[in-house]
Amino acid sequence: MILIDGKKTSQDIKNEIASRVAEIKAEGGKVPHLAAVLVGNDGASQTYVGAKVKSCEEVGFVSTLVRLEADITEEELLKVVEDINTNPDIDGLIVQLPLPKHISVDKVTNKIKPEKDVDGFTPANVGRMTLNWPAYVAATPYGIVELLKRYQIETAGKHCVVIGRSHIVGSPMSILMARNGYPGNATVTLTHSKTQNLAEICRSADILIVAIGKPEFVTADMVKRGAVVIDVGIHRIEDASKKSGFRLIGDVKFDEVAEKAAAITPVPGGVGPMTIAALLYNTLQSAEKKVFG
Catalytically active residues are 52, 96, 119
Judged by CB under 6 A, the residue of 97, 201, 220, 234 near ligand GUN is 97
d(CA 233, CA 227): 18
Which one of the spans 93-101, 174-182, 201-209, 262-270 is the region binding ligand GUN (CB under 6 A)? 93-101
d(CA 268, CA 171): 23
Residue 128: which residues within 8 A CB-CB, separation 6 or more?
Answer: 114, 134, 135
Judged by CB under 6 A, the residue of 9, 10, 55, 96 near ligand GUN is 96
Q: For ligand GUN, give the closer residue by CB, 55 or 96.
A: 96
Q: Binding of ligand GUN at residue 119 (CB under 6 A)?
A: yes
CB 142 within 8 A of CB 281: yes
CB 248 within 8 A of CB 236: yes
Q: For ligand GUN, give the closer residue by CB, 143 or 202.
A: 143
If we measure between CA atoms, which residue out of 28, 52, 32, 45 comes closest to residue 276?
A: 52
CA atoms within 13 A on the CB side of 58: 17
Judged by CB under 6 A, the residue of 94, 162, 222, 276 near ligand GUN is 94
Q: Binding of ligand GUN at residue 109 (CB under 6 A)?
A: no
Q: Is the dihedral of CA 162, 166, 171, 177 positive or negative?
A: negative
CA atoms within 13 A on the CB side of 270: 27
Tell me, by CB under 6 A, how many residues bind ligand GUN. Answer: 6
If we measure between CA atoms, which residue out of 133, 168, 155, 163 comes closest to residue 275?
A: 168
Q: For ligand GUN, give the closer residue by CB, 94 or 124.
A: 94
Q: Binding of ligand GUN at residue 139 (CB under 6 A)?
A: yes
Q: Binding of ligand GUN at residue 173 (CB under 6 A)?
A: no
Q: Binding of ligand GUN at residue 72 (CB under 6 A)?
A: no
Q: For ligand GUN, give the closer residue by CB, 80 or 139.
A: 139
Reduced to 3 states (helix: H, G, I; strand: E, B; else coil), residue 266 is: coil
Kindly state the smallest distance separating residue 107's Cβ from ligand GUN, in Å.
Answer: 15
Q: For ligand GUN, give the closer residue by CB, 139 or 177.
A: 139
Kindly state the smallest distance separating residue 201's Cβ from ligand GUN, in Å.
Answer: 27
Q: Applying CB under 6 A, which residues contact ligand GUN?
A: 94-97, 119, 139
